[in-house]
Structure 1
Amino acid sequence: MDTVIDKKPDAPLSETDAANLIEELATKARIAQKKLASMSDAEKADALRAAAASLRDHASEILAANAKDIEAGEQRGLSGAMLDRLKLDEDRLEGIAAAVENVASLPDPVGQRMDEMERPNGLHLSRVRVPVGVIGIIYESRPNVTADAATLCVRSGNAAILRGGSEAVHSNRAINKAISEGLAKKGVPEGAVQLIPTQDRGAVGALLKAAGQIDMIVPRGGKSLVARVQNEARVPVLAHLDGINHTYVHASADKDMAEAIALNAKLRRTGVCGAMETLLIDAAYPEPASLVKTLLDADCEIRGDAKVQKLDDRVVPATDEDWDTEYLDSIASVAIVDDIDAALDHVAAHSSGHTDAIVASDPAALERYLNEVDSAIVMANSSSQFADGGEFGLGAEIGIATGRLHARGPVALEGLTTYKWQVRGSGQTRP
């Protein structure tokens, strides 16, 4: 008798079928995770290098699958930024394979002793990193997340159940197939990395309700996806919210630095979560018109407050909604603020807690911004586009966590572990 997994991909699922599907995947994942947890550091690293080689071997198939997704996305009217997130070429695919190899070269966090102590009664306590277990990862648009998520989970001893967005369905399936083949050659069980074989939304609902089967959910996508996950989940969630990121140009900022950083933060890649969405300019900054002109001349639409509108005729009025919008496009909201206090107030009111930056030469202003802005990543004199696990030296990342529990900022290997206490005694009993 066929299992739910064996049904035709994308066939509609009843609520019962969806629940059964997730149970089947989770059961396979739990068995595989036990095997993964017993593999050595060298064995896991070797398996990931085989996965990277398999990605390269299957490059033509992956790019052909991606071309189908791009064509379908164009027909659906996806924005340029969304298509950029979706698109793969030879260089990007090589980057994905290289990222897998990079994670293979990183230290294995599993088994690391976070701290240890000796109690007066002679008990020796150690706090040791261990895998989370079975992790469900729900994501949109970017097919590279299929590889990143699989790689990070395997390296940290976790089994992964992946559910990518429908816009990247062909790419995700091709990448998952290649990675799974490479891992299998080195003894990693099939259930260690599984892509949910249907785009039926009921499968997502079943995944979110699978308490006791799934240990953690990681959503990576837009506000509506994260909101659904947080509202429906009966499983712990490691949240990645939208990137409403600010760059504040202080009165002391160097003109050339401010313009270069603003240009890069907004336009290097508009579709990444670290892109600047709002530019705040100190009222005492001497060259605001030049800063705004730099962005406008680079074909960035500026939605400004009344003061910014006076700087250039091309600026359009900002609405209240603009200060809370993640554009993921060549659009920026721009405001002139009275001073650093006003900048801090604006960031506190409108930031999503992802990444916020300051450009300044005044050391006191830099330190105050770094200390007082309550975001997962706070930057001084650098582009917010550096908000990336690879740029932080963490290898691939599964997302930028904007919450305050478990992990915060780029979630890489350590963020996919938890810990347990090991207590070693010599016959002690408690009085």
Structure 2
Amino acid sequence: MRRMTEVMTQVQQQALAAKVAQRALEALTSAERTALVRAVADALESRASEIEAANALDMERAREDGMPQGTLDRLLFTAERVKASVQGMRDVAALHDPVGEVVRGMTMENGMRLVQSRVPMGVVAMIYEARPNVTVDVLALTLKSGNAVIVRGGHAAEKTNAATVSIVRETLEAHGMNPDLVSTVDPLGREGAQALMEARGYVDLLVPRGSARLIQYVAEHARVPFIETGAGNVHIYVDKAADFEKAVPVIMNAKTQRISVCNAAEKLLVHADVAADFLPRVAAVLAEKNVELRADERAYEILAAAGFPAVRASEDDWDTEYLDYILGVKVVDSLEGAIDHINAHSTKHTEAILSEDYSAVERFTRDVESAVIMVNASTRFTDGSQFGFGAELGISTQKLHARGPMGLAELTTTHWVGYGTGQVRA
């Protein structure tokens, strides 16, 4: 109990220091904030080998601890990957700055002029796991949008994140800015993460990004405002009017292009009218990547008759995010059946429909309750950089404030200013 009290005090002091630093950042012009982001990008690129060396130590420990292959892939942060993340940072720097943007305005009957405009959130906290690229992404987005940030990158990436944060803090100080704009609670362990969740009045926004277990824990314990990001139990529905020549490459890309990410496909639903023709065709391609198919009874029978191995799916399979070369396969009787199954089992992240029937597409995009819906395209496009945001804070799966990939605008809130000439209320 004493340890937690001490950690809470330390995190509160850290957040207060971040708030002081944030006010100075917000006072800069947009051009000055942009120049600062570019300076940080240059520093990270020039010292990418230091980050890679730190990451090698994290990777060695993770392998010794038996970390799954998919998670190891997320943890890996070579100099090449650092430079790719730095390019994302430069892309963010080049984007339009939302701070100060007028959302709406009006003149009241009494002559008072009201203006609603965008302002930074303030102090943003990020909790995530084994994703060192997220550290770079969040730094780019928060600095550009005038926010301070406190990160908890998790034990697995502790050395990698420490190296990254250290370089950024040195760069900020060298450019006359308070380094407390960027800090980490990683040295405080799980207590530090807990303290961030409970730092009401100190942290303005918390964004968790990681496993379903992490998101659920934050949802149950956070006392600060937070945005729920989601694990990706992502579905692709192959309609009876699908173009098979388009559908197979889309499914292959969505499932196998990178298995360890939240926008990778995890479930394949196929309309009963085309299942017998389509499933063997897609199974042959997926077999090239050794994708294990976990099939419902009808899909299993079709695959078995065509000579393709499959595993009978359990009820738990329909709610599982595999992050592996595994794909759940189900035959559905109708478009409505596909929609009902998705809404019952999805994490509300991304779903896709493959169809040439306009009415089916319209029904699917209207009735599926997820943040992003793709039509005849891979689910792998659900990504901040792919959406033109340069980077992303995460994929919001809730409906308040932000939904889908979160970029610069989602790191702002608004305030109102009333310009009067002495008006008083009657």
Task: Give the structure-1-normalised TM-score.
Answer: 0.95
Task: Tell me the equivalent position of 1:144.
Answer: 133
Pick from 180, 195, 200 the counterpart of residue 191 of structure 1.
180
- Cα distance in structure 2, aligned partners of 1:252 and 1:312: 21
Q: 1:30 to 1:351 in 2, by over 3 A?
A: same
Alignment deviations for residues 134-193 of structure 1 (CA, whole Å, 9 cap, x no partner): 111101111011111111111111110100111111111111112222233323311101
Distance 1:335 1:294 in 2: 17
Question: What letter corresponds to residue 254 of structure 1 in structure 2?
Answer: D
Is 1:236 aligned with 2:231? Answer: no
Take 1:117 and 1:390, find their aligned partners in 2: how far apart are those partners?
A: 35
Does the Cα contact within 8 Å between 1:47 and 1:187 map onto a contact in 2? no
Partner of 1:324: 319
Counterpart secondary structure, 2:266 = strand
Other-structure match for 1:6:
none
CA deviation after TM superposition for structure 1 residue 410, in Å: 0.6
For structure 2, the residue ranges without an aligned partner over 5 or more in a row are none
Q: Does 1:304 align with 2:295?
A: yes
The one-letter amino acid paired with 2:141 is: L
Q: Are residues 1:85 and 2:74 paired?
A: yes
Identify the residue that residue 108 of structure 1 maps to in structure 2. Answer: 97
Moved more, 195-204 or 64-73: 195-204
Write the distance in 2 (CA, Å) between the matches of 1:40 and 1:406.
Answer: 25
CA contact 1:65–1:171 (8 Å) conserved in 2: yes
Which sits farther off after the overlay, 157-166 or 173-182? 173-182
* Other-structure match for 1:383: 378
Structure 2 residue aligned with 1:208, among 193, 197, 203?
197
- Contact persistence 1:52–1:182 (CA under 8 A): no
In the TM superposition, what whole-angstrom CA distance separates every residue of 1:25-52 from its partner, at most 9, and x where no partner exists? 1111011011011011111111111111
Question: What one-letter code is carried by the residue in structure 2 that aligns with 1:117?
Answer: M
Residue 302 of structure 1 aligns to a residue in which SS? strand
Q: Which residue of 2 aligns with 1:4?
A: none
Q: Specify which of 149, 159, 175 is matched with residue 160 of structure 1.
A: 149
* 1:367 paired to 2:393: no
Contact 2:263 2:379 in 1 (8 A): yes
Contact kept, 8 Å, 1:132 with 1:158, in 2: the verdict is yes
Instruction: Report the AA paired with residue 308 of structure 1.
Output: A
The answer to whether structure 1 residue 333 and structure 2 residue 328 are counterparts is: yes
Q: 2:178 & 2:245 partners in 1: Cα distance? A: 53
Partner of 1:348: 343
Structure 2 counterpart SS, 1:310 = helix
Alignment-mate amino acid for residue 362 of structure 1: D
CA distance in 2 between partners of 1:423 and 1:348 (Å): 43
What's 1:397 paired with?
A: 392
In the superposition, the TM-score normalised over structure 2's length comes to 0.96
**Superposed displacement of residue 369, structure 1:** 1.0
Tell me the equivalent position of 1:252: 241
- Which of 266, 269, 289 is equivalent to 2:258? 269
Q: 2:108 is matched with which residue: 119, 126, 129? A: 119
1:178 maps onto 2:167 in alignment: yes
Residue pair 1:389, 1:395 contacting (<8 A) in 2 also: yes
Equivalent residues of 2:137, 2:391 under 8 A apart: yes
Q: Which deviations, in whole Å up to 9, do the C-alpha atoms of 1:279-322 show, x marking residues without a partner?
A: 10111124222122322332111100011112324110000000
Give the letter aligned to residue 325 of structure 2. Answer: S
